[in-house]
């Protein structure tokens, strides 16, 4: 599954605002997306997931600024280049041809004054100008069906669709562009599980056919475990653990990952106590020293408040192919 790298994020820093007022929302993130892979990105609200996604496509709303790092894109069969160094014109081409984002809250990014049919066919037209009008309409109907919407709703306006239906229209649009990299920021928060499974299943199937890669952002770790190849966990703007999905589920190393996994109500089996994670997320303006999770960490010990653990391959029997930033598992081979 994991082929060549398609996107390499190196030491990425993203701030909101400048100078003393700056909030460091993403810090020193190193992450590689491989061709054909689904990479899950999970973490608490405010941990910087969306900021990372918008930073690497340079879609950050002001006052967001990229204050350091590189994002190396490897086009199929072409020379790699740094997305952060592109001119505005090159960037537009890159975004249009290579990436598609389904934004968090995408259900509101449909234009309220146009029908669904118009918005879908416009996207298709921009992407494939040679298609006839009839072919465009047919393609739009097919896309709606793909995301589980009856095509007789083509002529609806966005406000006439339910939240989940609007979300699905956005997913359909993103896939219509046949991109290399699809970034989905909480794409299925408004969907029931049957629909989620159906759409993610479609996505996986399309990925196998078209070979694109997916960055899938969510706080629903149970969903990620099932649908992604690898999972990266963010806390306070940093990646604190990264591992193949199954490894992360069976053997999470970072106490924060353990906390996340312990917070899900189970549908099956006996009703168990839900542990949750005590305390509240860190204030990005006044980050704790050392490991930023230490004030909430049940296993914190003496190095934690003092020194920042670096993300690296742990020195453990199950340490291959994974990284963690935790003093309980000091890095043998740091990344970055």
Partner 1 sequence: MTLSNSAPAPAAGPASGPATEVVLEAVGLTKHFPVRRKLRDLFTREHAAVHAVDDVNLVLRRGHVTALVGESGSGKSTVARLLAQLYPRTGGDILLHGDAVTVKGGRRFRAYARRVQMIFQDPFASLNPVHTVRYHLTRALKIHGNAGRTADDLERALADLLGRVSLTPPERYLEKFPHELSGGQRQRVAIARALGANPEALLADEPVSMLDVSIRLGVLNLLRDLKERLNLAILYITHDIASARYFADETMVMYAGRMVEGGESETVTQNPAHPYTRLLIESAPDPDRISGLTADTGDRGNGEPPSLINPPAGCRFNPRCPNVMPRCTVDLPPRIEIGDRPGHWAACWLYDPATVAAQQPGSAAAATEEAAR
Ligand X SMILES: Nc1ncnc2c1ncn2[C@@H]1O[C@H](COP(=O)(O)OP(=O)(O)OP(=O)(O)O)[C@@H](O)[C@H]1O
From first CA to last CA, the distance across the chain in angstroms is 23
Least distance between Mg ion and beta carbon 190 (Å): 7
Neighbouring-strand partners of residue 43 = 234
CA distance 29 to 241: 11
Under rule CB under 8 A, which residues in 191-210 are in contact with partner 1? 191-198, 200-202, 204-205
Cα distance between residue 184 and residue 33, in whole Å: 14
CB atoms within 10 A of CB 284: 20
- Which C-beta is closer to partner 1: that of 263 or that of 313? 263
The CB-of-304 to partner 1 minimum distance in angstroms stands at 19
Among 21, 108, 160, 280, binds ligand X (CB under 6 A): 160
Q: Are 156 and 116 in contact (CB under 8 A)?
A: yes
Among residues 114 and 250, whose Cβ is nearest to ligand X?
114
The item of ligand X, partner 1, Mg ion, none sharing an interface with residue 159, based on CB under 5 to 8 Å by kind, is: ligand X
Residue 292 touches which of ligand X, Mg ion, partner 1, none (Cβ within 5-8 Å per kind) = none
**DSSP 3-state assignment of 297?**
coil
Query: Which of Mg ion, ligand X, partner 1, none lies near 284, with the C-beta cut-off 5 to 8 A by kind?
Result: ligand X
Q: How far is the CB of 55 from ligand X (least distance, A)?
A: 9
Which is nearer to Mg ion, 36 or 48 (by Cβ)? Answer: 48
Token pair of 329 as six digits: 């598992």
Q: What is the b/e burial string over 290-301, where b = at least 16 CB atoms within 10 angstroms of the residue's CB?
A: bbbbbbbbeebe
Quick check: 104 binds Mg ion (CB under 5 A)? yes
Lookup result for tokens 């860190």: 282
Among 11, 21, 111, 160, binds partner 1 (CB under 8 A): 160
Residue 50 touches Mg ion, criterion: CB under 5 A: yes
Judged by CB under 6 A, does residue 180 bind ligand X?
no
Which pair of tokens denotes residue 231?
Answer: 């999972």
Question: Is residue 118 involved in binding partner 1 (CB under 8 A)?
Answer: no
Q: Judged by CB under 6 A, which of 10, 34, 49, 329 binds ligand X? A: 49
Decide if 67 contacts 14 (C-beta within 8 A): yes
Least Cβ distance, residue 164 to Mg ion (angstroms): 7
Total length of the chain: 336
Size of the site for ligand X (CB under 6 A): 23
Our measurement of the distance from residue 164's CA atom to the centroid of its chain's CA atoms, rounded to an integer in Å, reads: 19
Instruction: Respond yes or no on whether the N-terminal peptide bond of residue 63 is cis (omega within 30° of 0).
Output: yes
Q: Does 89 bind partner 1 (CB under 8 A)?
A: no
**Two structure tokens written together for 297:** 């960490």
In degrees to the nearest 10, what's the CA dihedral of 120, 206, 9, 18? 20
Residues that bind ligand X in the complex, under the rule CB under 6 A: 16, 23, 25, 43, 45-51, 63, 104, 159-165, 190, 219, 284
| Contact residues for partner 1, defined by CB under 8 A | 43-46, 50, 61, 104-105, 107-108, 145, 148-150, 152-153, 155, 160-165, 167-168, 186, 189-198, 200-202, 204-205, 219-223, 225-227, 245-246, 249, 259-260, 263-268, 271-278, 280, 283
């Amino acid at each position: 599954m994991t082929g060549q790298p398609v996107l390499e994020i190196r030491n990425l820093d993203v701030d909101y605002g400048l100078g003393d007022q700056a909030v460091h929302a993403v810090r020193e993130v190193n992450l590689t997306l491989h061709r054909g892979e689904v990479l899950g990105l999970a973490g608490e609200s405010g941990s910087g997931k969306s900021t990372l996604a918008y930073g690497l496509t340079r879609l950050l709303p002001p006052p967001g600024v990229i204050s350091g790092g590189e994002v190396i894109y490897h086009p199929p069969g072409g020379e790699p280049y740094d997305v952060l160094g592109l001119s505005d014109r090159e960037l537009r081409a890159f975004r249009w041809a290579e990436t598609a984002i389904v934004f968090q809250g995408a259900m509101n990014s449909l234009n309220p004054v146009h029908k669904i049919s118009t918005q879908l066919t416009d996207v298709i037209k921009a992407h494939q100008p040679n298609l006839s009008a009839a072919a465009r309409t047919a393609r739009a109907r097919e896309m709606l069906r793909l995301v589980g919407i009856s095509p007789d709703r083509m002529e609806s306006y966005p406000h006439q669709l339910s939240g989940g239906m609007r979300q699905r229209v956005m997913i359909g649009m993103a896939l219509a562009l046949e991109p290399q990299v699809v970034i989905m920021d909480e794409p299925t928060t408004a969907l029931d599980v049957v629909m989620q499974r159906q759409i993610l299943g479609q996505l996986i199937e399309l990925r196998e056919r078209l070979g694109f890669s997916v960055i899938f952002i969510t706080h629903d770790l149970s969903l990620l475990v099932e649908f992604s190849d690898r999972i990266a966990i963010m806390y306070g703007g940093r990646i604190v653990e990264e591992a193949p999905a199954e490894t992360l589920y069976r053997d999470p190393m970072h106490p924060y990952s353990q906390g996340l996994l312990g917070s899900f109500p189970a549908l099956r089996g006996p009703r168990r106590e839900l542990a949750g994670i005590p305390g509240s997320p860190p204030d990005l303006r006044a980050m704790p020293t050392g490991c930023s999770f230490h004030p909430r960490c049940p296993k914190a010990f003496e190095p934690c408040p003092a020194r920042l653990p670096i993300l690296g391959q742990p020195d453990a029997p199950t340490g291959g192919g994974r990284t963690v930033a935790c003093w309980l598992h000091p890095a043998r081979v740091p990344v970055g």
